[in-house]
Structure 1
Amino acid sequence: MSGIAISPSSGDDALPDSARRVAQLLRERGHAKSVVMLPETGKTSAEAAAGLGCSVAQIAKSILFRRREDDAPVLVVASGANRVDEKKVAQQVGEIARADAKFVREKTGYAIGGVCPIGHATPPVTLIDADLLELDSLWAAAGHPHAVFNLSPQELVALTGAPVADVALRDA
């Protein structure tokens, strides 16, 4: 791993504000692993995986949609190797639309590329990609495009309280 680990006890002074908030929230929820700052952006799953030396599948990417009926944020935490099947998501939560950068920032408190699975300004309806549960270790965004944290799939489910669902687009 080529990132720079920020110890949970180091005071988080080296972290950007949004990543510092995530580090604090993780500590409050009993997650002992550190937030890691990547020297290069982790905006895409491939970039994050390259910076961490892990597989793209191990990147737990956060994709936000807007539910049409009530404008609620819908968060899908998917394997970086998967494309999200919007029809499958809609079957679970109702009709959805893509969210623009303003909606993402307003509803999550994070910029695109740094959306964490937890700590959103407006609590989203959340689904976890079932394919993530086949892996031993995951990396998720920690509130900033350069910040990530490590966790197990079981920790992801526990931290979010979200159901696990088949959300991956499969070849026909």
Structure 2
Amino acid sequence: MTDNASLQTPHPDDLDALPDAARRVALLLRERGHAGHVVMLAETGKTSAEAAAGLDCTVAQIAKSILFRRKHDDAPVLVVASGANRVDEQKVAAQVGEIGRADAKFVREKTGYAIGGVCPIGHATPPVTLIDADLLALDSLWAAAGHPHAVFNLSPQQLVELTGAPVADVALRESA
């Protein structure tokens, strides 16, 4: 973990110091045997670049959670992608069916989190989930922990284990 002064790590036993949604994530991580702790960024982590700056890591190490709406049944589709990548919606649709954009109300209703704080786990409605294959090339990742200022550290393998999701090529590649 970084020694960046912009991080505030509440004592693991003092979950009351966390916002409600971040506390829920911390408890869920604990229940699932994840040893990491939820940390609070001094500045918002709503974008991958903001989070990376606050964590003193690369943008690629930010495991951003992007929610889509599957068109045929309105199911939430979660793509956990590298912060350095744009998601190729056609690749995602090839895996899960036709998708569309999800508005803030849909995101909050289906995940229980606000945009900018969507965690890869603990959703109100379990989503169809895909993990960006590019994340597996990294040693360490940071993911949102239920609040725009809250994050937690994990390995790509832990992300796969926590979500139970398949790994897929979801990144938009520039054509030559």
Which string of whole-angstrom CA distances, capped at 9 and with x for unpartnered residues, describes residues 150-169 of structure 1?
00000000000000000000
Q: Which residue of 1 aligns with 2:93?
A: 90
Which string of whole-angstrom CA distances, capped at 9 and with x for unpartnered residues, describes residues 110-154 of structure 1?
000000000000000000000000000000000000000000000
> Unaligned stretches of 5+ in structure 1?
none
- Tell me the matched-pair count: 171
Question: How far apart, CA to CA, are the structure 2 residues paired with 1:21 and 1:7?
Answer: 15
> Unaligned stretches of 5+ in structure 2?
none
Which string of whole-angstrom CA distances, capped at 9 and with x for unpartnered residues, describes residues 14-47 of structure 1?
1000000000000000001110000000000000
CA RMSD of aligned residues (A): 0.6
User: What's the offset of the Cα at 1:6?
Assistant: 2.1
* 2:156 is aligned with 1:144: no
- Partner secondary structure for residue 143 of structure 2: strand
- Taking structure 1 as the reference length, the TM-score comes to 0.98
Aligned partner (choices 23, 46, 50) of residue 47 of structure 1: 50
User: What's the offset of the Cα at 1:54?
Assistant: 0.2
1:68–1:96 contact (8 Å) kept in structure 2:
yes
- Partner secondary structure for residue 90 of structure 1: helix
User: What's the offset of the Cα at 1:11?
Assistant: 2.6
- Partner secondary structure for residue 6 of structure 1: coil
User: Runs of at least 4 residues of structure 1 off by over 6 A?
Assistant: none
Aligned partner (choices 157, 162, 165) of residue 159 of structure 1: 162
Give the residue type in structure 1 aligned to 2:104: A
Q: Which residue of 1 aligns with 2:70?
A: 67
- Taking structure 2 as the reference length, the TM-score comes to 0.96
Question: How far apart, CA to CA, are the structure 1 residues paired with 2:10 and 2:54?
Answer: 16
User: What's the offset of the Cα at 1:7?
Assistant: 3.0
- Partner secondary structure for residue 17 of structure 2: coil
Q: Which residue of 2 aligns with 1:22?
A: 25
Sequence identity percentage: 85
Give the residue type in structure 1 aligned to 2:139: D
Q: Which residue of 2 aligns with 1:5?
A: 9
User: What's the offset of the Cα at 1:5?
Assistant: 1.1
Give the residue type in structure 2 aligned to 1:16: P
Q: Which residue of 2 aligns with 1:126?
A: 129
Question: How far apart, CA to CA, are the structure 2 residues paired with 1:127 and 1:50?
Answer: 26
Q: Which residue of 2 aligns with 1:109?
A: 112
User: What's the offset of the Cα at 1:13?
Assistant: 1.2
Give the residue type in structure 2 aligned to 1:11: D
Question: How far apart, CA to CA, are the structure 1 residues paired with 2:95 and 2:11?
Answer: 38
1:7–1:35 contact (8 Å) kept in structure 2:
no
- Partner secondary structure for residue 14 of structure 2: coil
